[in-house]
Structure 1
């Protein structure tokens, strides 16, 4: 464990903080260490009443992704060198983040097993633990909840208001952790924050509901690349998305549900309107039977204009394929751009700024597959946690140009968590004019962090009793 002290300026105020980085064990039922999780913990030091300060526990996704993206690009005291639209620039490195939430909350970034510097620990015979101890939806939630309990106890933060934030697959993770922490660790949260959340109740289902939910994202991407009709293109993005959402729910979804038995007339009308909202040709849409895969969209949108592909996680990015023909891009241009900038930046930052030096390789993406996705009850787990805890609130943040975990899919997840609708006033959705990592864009970095501040403040109890009131 290494401790360093720093000073920065956030929201025009001088902030002194301590950074603690190192590992903390995961134990089995016998009390034997089976893994060491690498973490970085930031605590503000020039403040009083530490126990009253919110504690944020931060995860990225994958599964198999290190806790690097939000660490050095979103909420932490340093951010990757980027231009104003979020594109990485050289020289690689980091600079101060004047928008970090460290002014109002302490933050720990956690790297699950086989990500970052986190590794399994062999037993006395030199054998590693069974992989299914860690690599699956429920296994992941179980051991991370135990780890969080230990961390909170070691740092003396049981009195602090607590929030968990997860990006992408981390959204699935923190939905499950909310329930696991509450019902197995007896740790009650104030807030759960889902950043570009992945919901596996939707993905890979091959159901019309999922396909229809992609259309508003198509509209956003087409608008950005000037591929919509002049009638739509001249409007602001936020003025046309509600139209696309309404069509997706009330027209496209029922049409897709009819499958091959839809009438030719209705099929043609739907294809025409899809083309209007997506930037694709009616022919391409009909050739896909109205069910347009996202990977085809990334390949086809600009096929007959520039021949370029668009990014999966951030469709503002452009790529060049070997051939313009085909049904999916050769690679994800945004991920390649991010990897070649984030990797040297995090290695440099941890070694030179936080003084954590090791010969262990920092795993941006670790070996966690096969990943057990069975018995995914995370959405229901979050509902149960909210029902049992009147204080628990949820914030969802999504980028309009995210083609992997689309913003409208995130809205749909929010709608489905509580079918009763009795807790809908405890959900907040925020959208941004960027992609999966909306915070890479300068304007959204400011807005998204301010949205976190407002959410955390709103989720504080301020001395109120935890109870439901009679209506």
Structure 2
């Protein structure tokens, strides 16, 4: 966009006027600025936020499996360029690599969170990085100050080098032109993250290394789309790790013509109700796995059939459905009937512990917070994963990684999602964002592409059943699916690694995943 020349003209005229009125003669006949002019000049040229253009490389040691592991950490704002060679953005990342290791056959994993609009902060300091945020022993509840990092013995650094990417608009990453929307969309984001990976492999001389992708939540859309996008530019990924992923928004977002999410959500609601001891005795006395199985069987059978009938449902059939929904969710039958048999997630989050005026978290049904009605901005997970992560990370950047900027670090940026082009990710000219077929295409093109999917039992955002339904849509030979796709369920929510026990199990499963040949 061309800028007006008027501000420049005005600046020249202002300078001339200051030259006439604001200077005093010296004994030598030379003009020097008066104190008043100097003060006005300083006010006219404000300081800019410091943004380091050079990388910072530091060396550290972490204990893994009771053995010291020495690694280098690199923090940098890497430039991205358009086809004309002009810089269009800077992407912040933190990369970790083992010292004195041959990088040729050592895996390198590019990790990112979701949103869209979230930085890689949570996978970085919650799950995979060499340092992690100190939490409560159970991972439930807000830890007390100070918020600090400690060694992460469950880091993946012993099996793979790591690069945590903050896509444009998150973390310190910004477009050169703040009004430039070319980064904010499903296809747009996939393209530019692929370009970042290509540049990183080139600059760090890692083209020979096995490449892995790790994405959480919306990072599932990004990761599944990247698998094919990277192949298109000559990079063949070896594996994809999907943590609580979404790849098809139609499996999560209901509307008057889409009942799938109501079916997918029921088993997760039953799990949360079981955790809080709100189910009828015959269900409450069962193990969680049995409760979830019963809820899933009924949801995929009689419940789905009833929703399919719509207004053709008889009064008797409707009453039976109401009764079963009340059993699995513990919500009042009157409320379920008024909702036309379709329970929005926010209603369940508000209603389960209504007698205590508490809401439960959409991201982890075990977590509770005060409030008579669910408020997304006050979700209990945001409290647990907000200030502790941000505070500890900023301290870590400055004091350990020797990287500091006046620019604000956006762990989550709501403006990004408002500007996001979801339509660019639909399979047709209209519809939900859906990258399932992109993953299927990548798996058809590569017989060694491995996929690992981690799911939390109490996740009411990307529910277990919605993820299984998505995987069931992959148009890939069944033998390749059974050999190359691994699905694991953990005792936790969307960020199941916030549970120390689940985090240890996740590390063990992923270490095996990296070692296993498909």
Decide: shared fold, TM above 0.5: yes
- Match for residue 180 of structure 1 among 206, 219, 229: 229
CA shift digits 1:318-345 (9 cap, x unpaired):
1212xx3x57677312212321211111
User: Are the counterparts in 2 of residues 296 and 328 from structure 1 also a CA contact under 8 Å?
Assistant: no
Are 1:351 and 2:398 an aligned pair?
Answer: yes
User: Are the counterparts in 2 of residues 15 and 46 from structure 1 also a CA contact under 8 Å?
Assistant: no
Q: 1:214 aligns to what SS in structure 2?
A: helix
User: Are the counterparts in 2 of residues 414 and 427 from structure 1 also a CA contact under 8 Å?
Assistant: no
Paired residue for 2:500? Answer: 442
User: Are the counterparts in 1 of residues 106 and 209 from structure 2 also a CA contact under 8 Å?
Assistant: yes
CA shift digits 1:151-188 (9 cap, x unpaired):
011111111111101001111110100111112x1111
Are 1:35 and 2:92 an aligned pair?
Answer: no
The Cα shift of 1:422 comes to: 4.8
Once residues 374 and 214 of structure 2 are traced to their aligned partners in structure 1, the CA distance between those partners, rounded to angstroms, is 35
User: Are the counterparts in 2 of residues 309 and 329 from structure 1 also a CA contact under 8 Å?
Assistant: no
User: Are the counterparts in 2 of residues 418 and 424 from structure 1 also a CA contact under 8 Å?
Assistant: no
Paired residue for 1:57? Answer: 110
User: Are the counterparts in 2 of residues 34 and 129 from structure 1 also a CA contact under 8 Å?
Assistant: no
Once residues 239 and 135 of structure 2 are traced to their aligned partners in structure 1, the CA distance between those partners, rounded to angstroms, is 30
**Structure-to-structure mapping, 1:319-468, within 5 angstroms:** 319-321=369-371, 324=372, 331-366=378-413, 367-368=415-416, 369-376=418-425, 377=427, 378-418=435-475, 421-425=478-482, 426-458=484-516, 460=517
Q: 2:122 aligns to what SS in structure 1?
A: coil
**Structure-to-structure mapping, 1:36-435, within 5 angstroms:** 36-47=90-101, 49-87=102-140, 88-89=142-143, 90-122=145-177, 128=178, 130-131=180-181, 133-183=182-232, 185-198=233-246, 199-206=248-255, 207-304=258-355, 306-321=356-371, 324=372, 331-366=378-413, 367-368=415-416, 369-376=418-425, 377=427, 378-418=435-475, 421-425=478-482, 426-435=484-493
The Cα shift of 1:441 comes to: 0.7
Q: 1:150 aligns to what SS in structure 2?
A: helix
Q: Provide TM-score, normalisation by structure 2.
A: 0.84
CA RMSD of aligned residues (A): 1.6
**Which runs of 5 or more structure 1 residues have no equivalent in the other structure?**
123-127, 462-471
User: Are the counterparts in 2 of residues 66 and 365 from structure 1 also a CA contact under 8 Å?
Assistant: yes
User: Are the counterparts in 1 of residues 117 and 412 from structure 2 also a CA contact under 8 Å?
Assistant: yes
User: Are the counterparts in 2 of residues 115 and 365 from structure 1 also a CA contact under 8 Å?
Assistant: yes
Once residues 374 and 506 of structure 2 are traced to their aligned partners in structure 1, the CA distance between those partners, rounded to angstroms, is 34
The Cα shift of 1:420 comes to: 5.6
Q: In proportion to residue count, which structure has more helix? A: 2
Once residues 489 and 250 of structure 2 are traced to their aligned partners in structure 1, the CA distance between those partners, rounded to angstroms, is 21
CA shift digits 1:261-293 (9 cap, x unpaired):
211111111221222222222222222111100
Once residues 364 and 351 of structure 2 are traced to their aligned partners in structure 1, the CA distance between those partners, rounded to angstroms, is 16
**Which runs of 5 or more structure 2 residues have no equivalent in the other structure?**
1-54, 428-434
The Cα shift of 1:63 comes to: 0.3
Once residues 8 and 152 of structure 1 are traced to their aligned partners in structure 2, the CA distance between those partners, rounded to angstroms, is 25
Once residues 168 and 374 of structure 2 are traced to their aligned partners in structure 1, the CA distance between those partners, rounded to angstroms, is 35
Q: Which of these two proteins has the greater Rg computed from alpha carbons?
A: 2
